[in-house]
Amino acid sequence: MSTDIFKVTEHTAPASHIREYPGSTARSQEEALSLHVKQYTPLDQDHITSSDAITVIAAHACGYPKELYEPLWDEVYRRLKHNGVHIRSIWIADAPNMGMSGVLNEDKISLDYSWIDSARDLLLMINHFRDQMPRPLVGIGHSFGGNILANLALMHPRLFTTLVFLDPTIYPRPVSRGVGIDPPGAVNYTLWRPDIWPNRKAAASAHAKAWRHWDRRCFDLMVKYGFRDLPTALYPTIPAGANRSEPPVTLTTTKYQEVAGLYRSNFSARASGGIDRSVHPDMDPIYANRIVYRPEPRNTFSKIHHLRPPVLWILGAKTFLGIDNLREAIKVCGVGVGGSGGTSHGQVKEVILPERGHLFPFEDVNQTAGYCAAWLVQEIGKYRESELVWNKKRSSMTQRDHLVYGDDWFEAIQMPKTLQRKAKL
């Protein structure tokens, strides 16, 4: 369990200002939202002397509590320690409308959510806790969490030493939307699912089949953190006859906020007036006639060639996102101006987990941790080498060297002729 390995510290941090969509907040657009953050610090950190102990910034999947990744952190920690790489802290925040962040903000949030806001939120969080987050920073993101970290790295290319994407939602072609003639998908089951159960045990029993392939640790954490006792803002009254010692429960992330994370509405798509750019400024032409859409996967795909950090992509062979769809993104990741160089330079790598779907971090914790740790060991080894070279170069500089350019600048940049004449007088 994480508490045997980590000291777990809870924080509340501000979310970014202004939000991407005016409908993100319930009342004022200046409403200040908060993030619920957990920091996992190894209990043996007192023995860490390495200045290159890593700071992990993690991002969860849509609708899933941040605590579900605790078994993954345990296993990654063990493997890294065995290979001489230390963790300084792992930081993860619920999106502002999900998990405990959603509870903090439930009287402030509305039903329009942008993934890009979460990238900005994490940048603000990192600056907020900067004293506890020395380099190197590495990012691990699952599903839309991978997309969020990609956008954070595109905003700040040198922030992360490396990234690990776990089945990230970055692709060129839309996946099935579950509307019209499409077969039912996540959004159908989310919007129409029951969301009140007589007690926590009943909620666990109701989901036992859906989560039957999960690691037992993840299942137990979902039962603990994925549900909350009534009353809530959504359900302010407890049903008559309920057992108050084992009260009814609902979803911690409401099903409506999970749908808001999956899609935005575009119900005017088939109207004579067409797209309303005041509320759909990010509309891609490929989505223009669709009644629901999500701009970030394709938008991020269009920029992924500029991604600078080295990236390991771990994919489930049976992911609903489509392996070929994701491989289109892997193919171009980092190959553009300012990028890492991509697969041809060994900066981008793909791993496929056979027989696994989109939720493999909860199903095959050990294998996921093994690939994460092996990649981090490799990349931190490169980081150590580059730091030695840089520090050796900088240590030879005097204080004046930091104030005045050296002779190479004056040799490269010619003096204007007017100044040459003045120098002769």
Active site residues: 143, 167, 358
**Cα-only R_g, the chain:** 24
Phi, psi values for residue 227, rounded to 5°: -125, 155
- Locate the DSSP E strands across 162-288: 162-166, 196-197, 227-229, 249-251, 264-265
Report the C-alpha gap between 67 and 2 in whole angstroms.
Answer: 10
Report the C-alpha gap between 42 and 9 in whole angstroms.
Answer: 11
Residue 70, amino acid: E
Report the C-alpha gap between 159 and 222 in whole angstroms.
Answer: 31
Per the CB < 8 A criterion, the answer to whether 39 and 8 are in contact is yes
Overall size of the chain counted in residues? 425
Report the C-alpha gap between 338 and 229 in whole angstroms.
Answer: 48
Give the residue from 147, 65, 72 showing the smallest Cα distance to 361: 72
Tokens representing 290 are: 């669709």
H/E element, 331: helix 323-332
Give the residue from 261, 280, 295, 290 showing the smallest Cα distance to 178: 290
Report the C-alpha gap between 405 and 6 in whole angstroms.
Answer: 47
